[in-house]
Amino acid sequence: MSEQTILVLGLGGIGRVVAQKLHALGARVIGTSRSGTGVPGVHEVVPLDRIAEVAPTVDAVVNTLPGTAATEHLLDKGFFDALRPGATLVNVGRGSVVDEAALIEALDSGRVGFAALDVFETEPLPSHSPLWNHDHVLVSPHTAALSPAEDRLIAELFATNATRLLDGESLLNRVDTVEFY
């Protein structure tokens, strides 16, 4: 990891934690942010429209982006063609960010050497998808955040927000219904 350069797409809540952990392991981290604001552990921040420019320099890509009109099929054939051969893709954001047909082509050609996929364009992943049996793909069931404490944490957040709602306070973790994050 200490000799890897990793592109983290999206430096929101999940992306920041991913970037910090990668940095702690010695990776050079490049991140994307609409605001361009730096994040601890991120060596360089680039706008989304420049990811194909940095793609040849990265060993792996971690997608944490939400599914919006601006991110749909952001990782397409052009992006995969620009990647360093054998790069790794991890998708824990939204499936719509990745053009799966282009990803399969990139996996078959070796442009993407390995893909760990927690989310997909269509969920559940159709039984006929070649991703199920691809030798270079790990499929997980949209539970990347799975933790033994998950149920308790969800219940605590619900109780906290119920109290905040009754007290007229703003809610925690509100989703923007325009940007969907």
The C-alpha angle 111, 2, 87, rounded to 5 degrees, equals: 5
Domain boundaries, the chain: 5-146, 147-181
- 123 in active site: yes
pLDDT digits (tens, 9 = 90+) for 147-163: 788 889 989 999 999 99
Which residue in 34, 53, 123, 179 is the catalytic one? 123
Q: Write down the pLDDT at residue 178.
A: 72
Mean pLDDT of 129-146: 88
- 23 in active site: no
Q: Phi/psi at 30 (nearest 5 deg)?
A: -110, 135
pLDDT digits (tens, 9 = 90+) for 11-65: 998 899 999 999 999 999 999 998 888 899 999 999 999 999 999 999 999 999 9
- 152 in active site: no
pLDDT digits (tens, 9 = 90+) for 90-116: 999 999 999 999 999 999 999 999 999
Amino acid at 127: S
The domain over range 5-146 is classified in CATH as 3.40.50.720:
yes
